[in-house]
Every structure is written in C-alpha cells, then in structure tokens.
Structure 1
Amino acid sequence: MYFTTLMAIIIIIFLIHSIIPTLYNKYINSNIIKLTNKDNEIMLTFDDGPDERYTNNLLDVLKENQIKATFFVVAENAKNNPEIIYRMHKEGHTIALHSLAHKNALFYSYKYTKKDFKNSIEIMKNFNYQINYYRPPWGHSNIFTNFFVKKYSLKMILWDVMAEDWSKYATVDSISSKLILRTDRNSIICLHDAGENSGGAFNAPLKTIEALSTVLPKLKLVGYKFITPERLGH
C-alpha cells in the first residue's frame, strides 16, 4: 500500500512538473511559434550545434542555395566554436538558443532551469549577439520553462516537420523523401547539425547535409521561400 501511494505521488508530481507543461506548450499555448504565418514561407532550422565536423559544411550548402536558416545552438557548443558563430552571424543566419548543455527539461529542477537559461544567455552575450528565440531540447518543457522564457524576453519556436535525421537508421534518401513529403506551405523544419554529442547517431549530420544539397533546390523550385523568425512579425 505504501509503495503504491508513493508511486502515485511520484507520477502526479512528474505530470505536473513536466508532462502537462510540455503538452500545453506543444498543443495549447498560442504564444509558441509552431508554423509560419504566410503561405509558402517556410523556416529551416537546425538544433544541437555548432559542431566543427559538420556545421561549416552545412553553411556552405546554405550559402550555395542562398538560404538563411535559424540555428538553435547549444550554448556550451557555441562557446567552444566561436568562429562558427561569427560565420553564422556574418552570413545572415539567425542564432537562437537550444539550452546550455542539451539536457532534458523533463528532469530539470528549478535551480538547474535557472542556471540553464542564465548561463546560456551570458555565453551568448559574449558574442555581442542578442538572443530572441528559444527551442527546448526534444521540445520538452517543465513547470519553470515558460517563466524563464518570459524573463529573458524569448519566443519559443517548435516545429511541424522532422525527418528523423538524427537516427542511425536514417539514410540520405529517407531524409530527402520525408522533407519533400512532409513540408507544407507554413512549415517549420527541424534538422540537426550535431550527432552523438546531443543524442543522435555518429556522423548523422553528414546524411542531412547531403540530402539538403538536392532537397533545397527542389523546395525552392516549387515556390517555397525560406525565412527566419524575424519575418514572422511576432
């Protein structure tokens, strides 16, 4: 009886702390950006980097296709790769926040959530760059997330298209076909420019980059225009 009661209490706490805030932000909270607001304007976003093994090659592909993207960077990765951050900024991409060290907010305490935002913002300020947008790892929130998003005047951006490019089972063809089939007229696409250091497969971004080399021209050809969050009017 004691064990059953204890488990029930733990489940209720977890629901209140993590599950309900995550579901609320994904499906109910109108302050969360989940789609663009003009037909055929789509947003291309990347999580988990920067990573010196992949991000520069990705930037080359974007430059070749004259596309500006949004990079949700892990602050500690940004700190370790300042030259990539400066390149992103120089080439007109939007730099946004994807946490301090890519830990899962489902298990954050108040103390760690506070540290996560505070330290991340401080790291990015060292680049003389104002962070305005945030995406939580895995799209997970906790009961404290929205408080700190508001405190630091951030807008949370989620997504509606993912190609499972982080998976060890992903192939260039599977990523390409999912992007073509799933992208719609108001889509926000979520891809990744880091691999195993953020829970993805080793060398996974190499497949993403190769897929984008063929997919981006196709999406442009059918009339999609790539925008960054500043164009959304939020």
Structure 2
Amino acid sequence: MKLGNKVKLLAVVCAADVILLGGLCRTVLGNRPVHAAAGNGAWVQEGGETMERAKGLEGKCVALTFDDGPHKECTAQLLDGLKERGVRATFFLMGQNIEGNEELVKRMHDDGHLIGNHSFSHVQLTKAGARSVCQAVDRTSMMIEDITGERPQYMRPPFGDWNEELECDVGMTTVLWSVDSLDWKLRNKNKIVKRVLKDVEDGDIILMHDIFPTSVQAALELVDTLTRQGYTFVTVDELLID
C-alpha cells in the first residue's frame, strides 16, 4: 500500500462510528487520529489499539463501483463482461431508473454483485431536507428489496453531497470514493483508463457510471489491466471495516 500525501476521505462520521478501508491514509475518530500501518493491512489507533483489515483479503484489492443505473443497454453489457471475467462490483442504483429494468437488478443480485442505494433522483440531498431525503432513499430501498429480497445497507449520495445529520437520519452506511474516473465528463475509453491507472492504489474505491458505453468499455479494460497487475476485485462491503 502506497502512503503519500493524498488523503482519501472515505469516511462519514456519525456520532462515534467511522468506516475505514484498505487505501485510507488517515481519518479521524472523534479527536483521535487513525493512521495506516504500511505493509500489513492494519491500522494503529493512537494509544496502541490495532484494527485489522477485513478478514480474508490478501494482496492488492480494489472495488469497482457504478452509479446512476440501471441502464437497459449499458448495464447489461457491463454485467456480461464482468461475468466473463469472474468479477463482482458494486452498483448504486437510482430509484427512477429501476422501473422497467427489474430483470437487470435481479441479475445483479444473482451474479453476486453488491447493490446499494443512490437515492431516487440525482439531486443534492443536503438541500432537499432530511424528511424528503429519507423518503427518497426509503422508496429506492423498497424497490430494490421487492426485486432481490434484500434491503440495501449501503448508499452513495449523488455528487457525494452528504452530512452527519443525514447519515444519522437515513441509518445506512455511506460509501464515497477515492478514485474518480470522471467517465461522465471524459466520455473516452482511453482517457478514462489512463486517469484511473494513474491514481489507483491498493484499497481504492473507483467511481464510475454504468450509463455510458465508453464507461463500460473502460471498466472492462481496467479489469483486464489491473488483474494483470495483481489486483483482486471486491465489493465495497468486503473492503470496508466497521
């Protein structure tokens, strides 16, 4: 694990709870800093307490995550490619895109991908009001549960727009990211791949979107390239430590 100047802020703190992941260089639990210990996948909290990396993970691990779907064509192509490669990813679904794509959601679940909540529509949640946010998130969770039989435990707010009040009200584990592919902006497979490969490290969570053909192409090329480099792909629940 490389430790540099880049601080990967992937924790949302609510009361005394904090989420850590493999690529995290530093976060804060209350007033107590937590530092990554290079090379052994553990974190040493000031005072000597050690928090282990998620059990069963060995070598370099990375999580591919996709927002804004499902998309009838792009998500289907992505699921095909991931299945061919034996890779599982994490999908943060937007409620308004689920209707009509129920079979894709079921397929995600059956293929072993982790399904999370991306609210019902792509709005800034901190400006929507806690009651409206909770209703939108709950509506999306119910849609996912009706299809898969499982209620999602993880969510990613649109734009990463979040705060501690919403975290406590919604009651779900919030997952942000450490590598932003900017696929929505670049819309070019080679540029997306180059950007991610430049920044990716052990333990990273990569942000992509499964609603653009170029994103699907880039994601599958990234899987092939990073696999050759010795990376294992995991879902965010395998990477995160509560």
Category of TM-score, reference length = shorter chain: 0.7 to 0.9
Asked if the contact 2:68–2:92 (Cα under 8 Å) also holds between the matched residues in 1, the reply is yes
TM-score normalized with structure 1 length: 0.76
- Write the distance in 1 (CA, Å) between the matches of 2:152 and 2:105: 12
Match in the other structure for 2:130: 110
5+ residue gaps, structure 2: 1-8, 24-52
Q: 2:103 aligns with which of 83, 106, 117?
A: 83
Paired position in structure 1 for 2:184: 166
- Out of 231, 236, 241, the position equivalent to 1:224 is 231
1:131 paired with 2:152, answer: yes
Q: Distance in 1 between matches of 2:62 and 2:10?
A: 19
Post-superposition shift, 1:111?
A: 2.7
Q: Match for 1:65 among 74, 85, 88?
A: 85
SS in 2 for 1:190: strand
Q: Is 1:145 matched up with 2:162?
A: no
> Contact between 1:71 and 1:96, CA under 8 Å: does it hold in 2?
yes
1:180 equivalent to 2:180? Answer no
- Correspondence for 2:217: 210
- In structure 1, runs of 5+ residues without a counterpart are 1-24, 195-204
Check whether the contact 2:22–2:202 (CA below 8 A) recurs between aligned residues: no
* Contact 1:33-1:156 within 8 A present in 2 as well: no
Q: Percent identity over the alignment?
A: 28
Question: Per the alignment, in what secondary structure is the counterpart of residue 220 of structure 2?
Answer: helix
With the length of structure 2 as denominator, give the TM-score of the two structures.
Answer: 0.74
CA RMSD of aligned residues (A): 2.1
With over 3 angstroms needed to count, the CA separation of the structure-2 counterparts of 1:111 and 1:91, relative to structure 1, is same
Distance 1:35 1:139 in 2: 20
**Could you tell me whether the CA contact under 8 Å between 1:47 and 1:190 is conserved in 2?**
yes
How many residues matched? 196
Between Structure 1 and Structure 2, the one with more strand by share is 2
Q: Deviations over 1:4-57 (max 9, x none)?
A: xxxxxxxxxxxxxxxxxxxxx866736245655465111110000001021000
- Structure 2 CA distance, aligned partners of 1:161 and 1:43? 10
Distance 1:139 1:112 in 2: 17
CA deviations over 1:122-176 (Å, ceiling 9, x no partner): 22221212211111111001464112332xxx21111100110001x43111101
**Greater share of helix:** 1
Residue equivalent to 1:31: 18
CA–CA distance in 2 between the matches of 1:166 and 1:34?
Answer: 25
Alignment partner of 2:173 out of 155, 166, 172 = 155
